[in-house]
Amino acid sequence: MTKVRVYDGAETIGGNKIYVEENKKGVFLDFGMNFAKYKVYYQEFLFDRSARGIYDHISLELIPRLNIYRKDLIPSDLDISIFPSLNVEAVLLSHAHMDHFGNMGLLDENIPIIASPSTLMLLKAILDTSSAKVGSDVAYFSERLPDDKDDRVLKADRRKLSKYKGRNFICTKGFSEPFKEFILTSVKKQKQIEAGHICTIDDCSTPFEIKAFEVDHSIYGSTAYILEGDSTIAYTGDFRLHGKRAEKSRKFINEAKNASILIIEGTRTSRKDINESEEMVFRNCLEAVEESKGLVIADFSARNFERLETFKEIASKVGRTLIISAKDAYLLKALEKADGVDRTKDILIYKELKAVRYNWEKEYLKKEINETAFIDPTRISSEQDKYLLCFSLYDMKHLLDIRPEYGTYVYSSSEAFEEESEYDFIRLSKWLEAFNFKIYGYEILEQEGRDKPNFIKGYHASGHVSQNEIRWAIETIDPDVIIPVHTQNPEWFANNFYNTVLLKDGQTHTL
Ligand SMILES: [Zn+2]
């Protein structure tokens, strides 16, 4: 008997937590953060308290009420033993986006994580370079100890000689020496990482026979899975068919033929299909950059490495050099440990004027990247038409140091779907106005009595499959049952395919 239970992510974009079980043994497909649920209660400066472990998450039902979490995150005034415990043998992670991994760090540390080497390198690098919140500290974590005076309060273990705990990982394919070394490299001088067990999918036992397939999405390392047990289950994760790696997604779809259950993402089922591709983004952005004089800024999601490569190609075509942030460079170096590709070649790194440099930047990045690759704002200022700078709204403050006279701004990222983020574009435009930038990709128009961004198509391509492509994928696989997830419009599937099973969060399908 095979059971699929969607604990979370059925009717929203992200937060996937899907449990698949056979003979009382199971695996989770992703364990991401459900942004929609968090947003109900939280906003910037109002968030869950690390010192209370999973108390806040459980109280507000941000995570399923189950007995599967790290023991050190349970304060004295919370009893999770009253909740059902599951026999979770592993978590299969599809890719390194928060809505897929953001709650994974809360899970019992004995549960191994299955992921591609690229995804694991990114998880590690993201954690190294950010002030991680409990939950997204997947690659390694600081054990929490109850406070001496009040055991409802949990504190990070800061005792001398204490170590970070590394999780147990099962890689979807073989990994290199640099991979092993990086996973154990602590960027904090005082504290080492104690290795977890690391193996590959072929030499570790798992409850299903698990086949992993790299797929095309807006982050490298994205993986789809086929689980073979009493029945065959295919899980797409997030994927698309219009990027440079589309062929890989097609291979997965073909391999998944005749699966009994297809669990598929439907991000774009609530919007009308538009014609888009990474190739089209390249052409339109190239045209914009070719016309430009002065400084050019490209704004795209930091972890969209394919887009980064698109702009690197554009830069070289027009005789400019790409400049990225130190954080992006660190992530690229991490990716290199997984696949051996040096992506920082011929790229410069922006030298921020700041008082404190973290260890990852000071020691580890400088060890791997030549000092001459770091570029000072003054130098950019003196040769503004030589560079293509990868900046977004949060980097606008650095324009005060570069002091461009004029330039071009290419917005190559997703549209704002919420009112709150619309205000960000008004603010962004104020910065760009102050430095005489011409904007491509969006404009500010007065709509419904206030200024709003209007996005111009062709400068960005989604990370997700279109409705037409979903149709093709489903028809090719021809599964017995379709379970849509990662969508605000699951009914689209039911309206188009008679064998759709609509599961709400917490509902189970048994085969
Ligand atoms: Zn994603």
Ligand 1 centroid to residue 218 C-alpha, Å: 7
- 448-455 — which CB contacts under 8 Å span 24+ positions? 451/426, 452/422, 452/425, 453/415, 453/416, 453/422, 453/425, 453/426, 455/411, 455/415, 455/416
- Which residues, 6+ apart, have CB-to-CB distance to 158 below 8 Å? none
- How many domains would you assign to the chain? 2
Ligand 1 centroid to residue 419 C-alpha, Å: 22
Ligand 1 centroid to residue 96 C-alpha, Å: 7
Q: How confident is the model at residue 285 (pLDDT cuts 50, 70, 90)?
A: very high
Ligand 1 centroid to residue 471 C-alpha, Å: 20
In this structure, the dihedral spanned by the alpha carbons of residues 22, 24, 28 and 33, taken in order and rounded to 10 degrees, is 140
Indicate if 39 and 78 belong to the same structural domain.
yes
CATH of the domain at 446: 3.40.50.10710
Q: How confident is the model at residue 473 (pLDDT cuts 50, 70, 90)?
A: very high
**Does residue 132 carry a pLDDT above 80?**
no
Provide the residue range defining the domain that includes 229.
2-271+462-510
Ligand 1 is an ion; its neighbours by CB within 5 Å are 97, 238
Q: What is the structure's pLDDT at 188?
A: 81
What pLDDT, in 10s, does the model give residues 83-124?
999 999 999 999 999 999 999 999 999 999 999 999 999 999
SS3 367: helix
Q: What is the structure's pLDDT at 50?
A: 94
Q: What is the structure's pLDDT at 363?
A: 84
Residue in 93, 250, 109, 88 with CA at minimum distance from that of residue 171:
93
CA distances to 39, 351, 416, 430, 438 from 423, in Å: 17, 28, 9, 11, 19
**Does residue 19 carry a pLDDT above 80?**
yes
Ligand 1 centroid to residue 94 C-alpha, Å: 8
How far is 312 from 321, CA to CA, in rounded Å? 8
Ligand 1 centroid to residue 430 C-alpha, Å: 30
Indicate if 93 and 224 belong to the same structural domain.
yes
Indicate if 239 and 291 belong to the same structural domain.
no
**Beta-bridge partner residues of 298:** 390, 410
Ligand 1 centroid to residue 101 C-alpha, Å: 10
For residue 466, the number of C-alpha atoms closer than 13 Å in the C-beta half-sphere is 13
Indicate if 193 and 285 belong to the same structural domain.
no
Ligand 1 centroid to residue 13 C-alpha, Å: 9
How far is 224 from 147, CA to CA, in rounded Å? 42
Indicate if 69 and 162 belong to the same structural domain.
yes
CATH of the domain at 187: 3.60.15.10
Ligand 1 centroid to residue 87 C-alpha, Å: 27
322 or 421: which leads in pLDDT: 322
CA distances to 175, 192, 326 from 388, in Å: 34, 38, 15
Indicate if 154 and 45 belong to the same structural domain.
yes
Ligand 1 centroid to residue 434 C-alpha, Å: 34
Global pTM value: 0.96
Indicate if 259 and 394 belong to the same structural domain.
no
Indicate if 252 and 116 belong to the same structural domain.
yes
Indicate if 315 and 206 belong to the same structural domain.
no
Indicate if 417 and 351 belong to the same structural domain.
yes
Q: What is the structure's pLDDT at 227?
A: 97
Ligand 1 centroid to residue 303 C-alpha, Å: 10
How far is 400 from 396, CA to CA, in rounded Å? 8
Ligand 1 centroid to residue 235 C-alpha, Å: 14
Indicate if 237 and 170 belong to the same structural domain.
yes
**Beta-bridge partner residues of 156:** 144
**Does residue 189 carry a pLDDT above 80?**
no
Q: What is the structure's pLDDT at 418?
A: 81
Residue in 141, 133, 124 with CA at minimum distance from that of residue 185:
124
Ligand 1 centroid to residue 98 C-alpha, Å: 8
Question: Among residues 436, 455, 474, which one ends one of the domains?
Answer: 455
Indicate if 147 and 263 belong to the same structural domain.
yes
